[in-house]
């Protein structure tokens, strides 16, 4: 079956621009997670959705970052006024319920020039 | 303090040998889970093995086993009979529940780059 997919695979933008990153979880998975992985580091948690609601957004670095999951399936991570420090790979994961194994997507590599 | 510590930034191992990747963790919770993920150059995180804090037996999955030493707060990954395809980054991660079973985020270490030599 289809795994977690993320689009685009690569995104290059200029400082100050707005970007949207999309995640399609595995069908039927109610839990969805966003992580950010900087070069040479492990992934860092950003936000976790259970259904349509954000159950934990404690990892969002500041108010330029926002994520939605309006129908409990696809999620979009939105970054306003991008900064060079936002450059990283953004990983999405999903799981059956909140405590199941997390399946990761291939990531979106964001480069802010 | 770091919640997950992986002290080996890189390792080189001869094909067919066993390899141990170190992981120590820091938590005051009684309920937690420990995970190992593999990240090949393609970038996707692949789940390998899980150990719950209350599991009395060490977890095993095929060639992977987790050497869980609760008192030492270590959860080392052992790969037996290494193969060329095992070359990748390996991350140890923890999920803490404590009294909050809604805490589902994973905290990752900085990883170990494993290279298998033919």
Digits of tens for pLDDT over chain B (118 positions)?
Answer: 679 999 999 999 999 999 999 999 999 988 899 999 999 998 889 999 999 999 989 999 999 999 999 999 999 999 999 999 999 999 999 998 765 555 678 999 999 999 999 9
Query: Is B45 close to A45, i.e. CB distance below 8 A?
Result: no
How far CA B74 is from CA of A39, B29, B103, B112, in Å, comes to 25, 15, 21, 15
For the record, the structure tokens of A105 come out as 């997507």
For the record, the structure tokens of A8 come out as 């685009």
Phi-psi region of B101 (alpha: psi -120 to 50; beta: other; left: phi over 0): alpha
Query: Is B104 close to A101, i.e. CB distance below 8 A?
Result: no
B54 vs A contacts (CB less than 8 Å): none
Closest-CA residue to B51 (of B41, B42, B61): B61
DSSP state of B86: G
Q: How far is B93 from chain A (nearest CA, A)?
A: 9
Measure the CA angle with vertex A34, ends A45 and A24; round to 5°: 165
Is residue B22 within 8 A of residue B6, CB to CB? The reply is yes
Q: How far is A5 from chain B (nearest CA, A)?
A: 11
Query: Is A93 close to B45, i.e. CB distance below 8 A?
Result: yes
CA dihedral B43, A84, A41, A103 (to 10 degrees): -40
Nearest to B42 among A42, A93, A106 (CB): A106
């Amino acid at each position: 079956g289809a795994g977690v997919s993320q689009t685009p695979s690569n995104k290059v933008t200029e400082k100050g621009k707005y970007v949207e990153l999309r995640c399609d979880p595995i069908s039927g998975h109610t839990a969805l997670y966003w992580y950010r992985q900087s070069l040479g580091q492990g992934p860092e948690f950003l936000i976790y959705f259970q259904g349509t609601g954000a159950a934990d957004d404690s990892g969002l670095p500041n108010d330029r970052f926002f994520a939605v999951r309006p129908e409990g399936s696809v999620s979009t991570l939105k970054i306003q006024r991008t900064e060079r420090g936002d450059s990283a790979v953004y990983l999405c994961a999903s799981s059956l319920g909140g405590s199941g194994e997390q399946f990761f997507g291939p990531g979106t590599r964001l480069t802010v020039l | 303090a770091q919640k997950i510590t992986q002290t080996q930034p890189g390792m080189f191992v001869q094909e067919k040998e066993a390899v141990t990747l170190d992981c120590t963790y820091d938590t005051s919770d009684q309920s937690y889970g420990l995970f190992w993920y593999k990240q090949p150059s393609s970038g996707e995180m692949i789940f390998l093995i899980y150990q719950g804090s209350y599991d009395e037996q060490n977890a095993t999955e095929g060639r992977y086993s987790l050497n869980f030493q609760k008192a030492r707060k270590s959860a080392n990954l052992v790969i037996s009979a290494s193969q060329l395809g095992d070359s990748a980054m390996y991350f140890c991660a923890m999920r803490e529940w404590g009294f909050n079973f809604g805490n589902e985020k994973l905290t990752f270490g900085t990883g170990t780059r494993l290279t298998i030599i033919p």
